[in-house]
Chains A and B, each alone.
Chain A
């Protein structure tokens, strides 16, 4: 049977409870917004296949419960992720402050070379804004990751966010693959060109189809 995609990327949405992770995902996967949403219990995922530079990329996006209490369970799913969306709510200062805790969580549980991206959601609620765009940008620079403000409700830049993250993963992956097939001094395999200090790299497990 022919494959319906070239790459499978596993992404993860994390962030405080109520910042809109499920809504961002719903907007991206169904292009819809539901005002009567419910809190996420446990873990769930959605699939969307996108076209990126002539490649079909299947995005499997995992959505987690945000409350601290469930972190012991949800962190088990960090490990396989190739990309992580860190989501905060621009109308909620606390959710922004907590991003650094989420980053620490990633460092402890995800593979070292996971692609990260910072998402300031609910940007349509300008009148309730507590976190300026500049602070979001500043934090992203601090961590060396990309930043984007989105609105799941008003459908602002959600597509762009996921496409950007997917492209970054693809670029990183293809670069590694190229290195692997054309090693600088020849004869080395992917595993050898991979720094040994990163044994948990997702690249070594990444699904190539």
Chain B
């Protein structure tokens, strides 16, 4: 005679469950309402002999059950009351009104009909039974099942969950795969994968799952299946669930990824006024509170009346802490310096020039370019324009100032607004020198600076808008090359003269972080993301769209959005050092930057043969980043929750 169970611990119950499919023994119970239980059975006297069972029991009054139990039709997952045999057991003996399912029998289950229908299968394409959840849905039950069974979403149908039997080939395969992935070693590609995961949640997840799928469905040869103990595997799989109700196939995985904080609005302010500016100088003519001045400029720019003066500070011609006297002396000194350099090239004879091709080449390029720089502005318009002449003279003198860099296309665009404002050759030159200091790497001979910026832009975009970043990657736009013009000349070709003056002075403050212009780019891309991803656009369409944004951008809105993005990034829990280093935020060692750099290099967007040239060092080298034991633990936890 069968030993009667001693105790039942209810783990779960849900009412309002219609039996839709059942074995022939339970035909009479079909389409009747009942309650689903999961309970733990402990056999008498053997506390270690516990078994879980799933049971559906027909309600006594089926017709009225809907009305009668409406209120508690929700779910009870936590209550663990002890039922004694004497109280409830009679129901268990009524075989046709109760259906018990042993968890061992379940090989897969399918969730469909908006999570209202759940069907269990025994692995031979035969149904064990099916239930329709009339009140609420089966999300909680599925959540429970996932803590009891080791399940994974089917490759063929994301509504189907496959149960991994510890003896099944799949499970063994999975076990071996984990072993092959060598989870213990934090320095291998597996960890890099998860670092990338953290960095680019969307792309990362796609890539990572593709890898896991490969591992799971392909045999792993020559690997030792015992490197990882089964218990560890179990726990890592169990942690996957993490109490998150699973409702839509794999979507919850995305939801479980770190979320950005809510974006805040940062309205632009009025420009720094002459009064505010003057009031900041002490009796020696020194600025008292440079930070607050810079902040005001960042927030609203500079009033046109004082722009000429303020720019000299912003462009590091005048030191921020200089006195009136310092500046007077500086002007004289710099003036002299300028004219000495100008004389150097002005005194080169035609014969010398003919024998000095490096020089001749630079001069030729300068002349070509000044003649096509902002000629629509009145200041530069017309034949034999003196300002064009001056523009050329300054650029030629800059060639003498920095001969190795020389003249690169785009520089005339950077100088033009400065000369337009200053209307003074010497001042313009030194302000231009200051601007060039800020953007020097844009003009690297091997374009390394531009390539690095485009890569950084991609990293930032992936952090803010992984959907768009992933789309671009999939459509041959991962190199971000369509943003080249934006970055090379800081939006000079995209904005009108008034806007560019305002935009540049805001950027020159260096507030609120390094590379703010990249965040502006992210803001625009995000703003345009719908249009960019329309009609399966590829590189050609995207480049055209971006080029045609010229003259249509709302500069103040871009700055506003970019600042909102900056604050989102700064406050994000999952902020990594690779993002921090781009924005010049203090590094805290959350990420091995080496892996990031490596992966970017592998997917180098530029495929021309010249690209074998070494990339410039990232702002943050691997050496700067230490990985603490805590961090390893953190990354491991991330990895286990994603697997």
Contact = CB atoms under 8 A, between A and B. Distances in A.
A17 B445 CA distance: 16
A41 B488 contact: yes
A36 B484 CA distance: 23
A196 B523 CA distance: 47
B375 A36 contact: yes
Contacts of A108: 609
Interface stretch (A70-78, A121-129, A147-155, A167-175): A70-78
B258 to A, nearest CB: 34
Interface string B414-445: 00000000000000000000000000000101
A198 B185 CA distance: 45
B608 A65 contact: no
Contacts of B410: 39, 41
A73 B484 CA distance: 10
B369 to A, nearest CB: 5
Interface string B466-492: 000000000000000100110011000
Interface stretch (A42-50, A112-120, A156-164, A177-185): A42-50
Nearest to B410: A41
Given A17-B368, A60-B540, A72-B608, A41 B409 contact: yes
B78 interface: no
B376 interface: yes
Interface in B360-390: 364-365, 368-369, 372-373, 375-376, 381
A18 B412 CA distance: 14
A94 interface: yes
Given A45-B540, A73-B481, A75-B610, A39 B364 contact: no
A67 B609 contact: no
Contacts of B513: none
Given A60-B540, A72-B611, A73-B447, A67 B408 contact: yes
A71 B610 contact: yes
A42 B606 contact: no
Contacts of B375: 35-36
Nearest to B364: A94
B409 A73 contact: no
Contacts of B381: 36
Interface string A1-40: 0000000000000000110000000000000000111110
A60 B488 CA distance: 25
Contact of B608 (A38, A41, A66, A109): A109
A135 interface: no
A7 B509 CA distance: 51
B488 A75 contact: no
A205 interface: no
Contacts of B544: 45
A39 B372 CA distance: 6
A35 B371 CA distance: 10
B339 to A, nearest CB: 28
Contacts of A75: 608-610
A120 to B, nearest CB: 18
A39 B376 CA distance: 14
Contacts of A70: 409, 447
A60 B543 CA distance: 13
Nearest to A44: B547
B368 A73 contact: no
Contact of B443 (A18, A66, A69, A79): A69
Given A18-B368, A39-B369, A41-B484, A69 B610 contact: no
Contacts of A60: 540
A36 B383 CA distance: 11
Contacts of B409: 17, 39, 41, 65-67, 69-70
Contacts of B543: 43-45
Contacts of B447: 69-70, 72-73
Contact of A72 (B368, B446, B488, B547): B446
Interface in B501-550: 540, 543-544, 547
A192 B408 CA distance: 46
B372 A37 contact: yes
Nearest to A108: B609
A100 B489 CA distance: 30
A75 B368 CA distance: 22
B493 interface: yes
Interface in B71-97: none
Given A36-B372, A39-B410, A69-B408, 8 more contacts: A17-B365, A39-B368, A42-B485, A70-B409, A72-B447, A73-B450, A73-B608, A79-B607
18 contacts: A17-B368, A18-B368, A36-B372, A36-B376, A39-B369, A41-B409, A41-B484, A41-B489, A42-B488, A43-B484, A65-B409, A69-B443, A69-B447, A72-B606, A73-B447, A73-B450, A73-B481, A109-B608
Closest 6 CB pairs of A and B: A18-B368, A42-B484, A36-B375, A72-B610, A75-B608, A42-B485
Interface of B: 364-365, 368-369, 372-373, 375-376, 381, 408-410, 412-413, 443, 445-447, 450, 481, 484-485, 488-489, 493, 540, 543-544, 547, 606-611, 613
Interface of A: 17-18, 35-39, 41-45, 60, 65-67, 69-73, 75-76, 78-79, 94, 108-109
